[in-house]
Structure 1
């Protein structure tokens, strides 16, 4: 059962990477890094517990990415796959920051005057309130 589970996990990790536009070495490196991160005891195998924990973490990350993609599409009023200066002010995080909100240029890594999705994710990471780490944690 454990070998079959590990094989399924590896296939699930590798299949999206195989179709990625990255080169093969990068995909293999990413798969190896994912496997290593999931292999908490470092024995080179994924136990069912390790697999479930890794899978749940990956599923949560995918859910977050999907939610961010929906938000990005909703704020991109002109559908040019970027958030420009006129759309930037409509972001809830920017509105909440008020006058202390950083300018769009802070997150515009390529300097094209608008935020692509990866740049938008960096904005969210920088401006979103942090969640408590666990029971009794403070923000």
Structure 2
């Protein structure tokens, strides 16, 4: 999906679901990691995570756009647009927008390293590398061996 299609999709969702025009900018932001999108009130800009479109598909992207448009339209009207505000929660329900986005499948495998004790077979999952020459098993003081290597980026 290119920039033009994203803008058209956002305008269409705004007109059909909210019955209000979307007059500002929407872009993909590749630097977003843990969220589906965000609305920046000072710039009146909606940024979306392209990974949600690539990994979870069109319907998930539409849900994220609807959620961000809830923030946008409430901010424009001068009402409470934050997650804790009752107006925001009511608009989410009325427009059938998701409150949270689903986790990305690529984030499920967050442990890059798995170690196992040679003696007691206890498994250790770690995001960072462990020096097996320096560290031992915390249960039995046995030697650790590396089972899974780091992901290559």
TM-score by length of 1: 0.27
The higher radius of gyration belongs to 2
**Structure with more of its chain in strand, by fraction:** 2
Answer 1 or 2: which has greater helix percent.
1
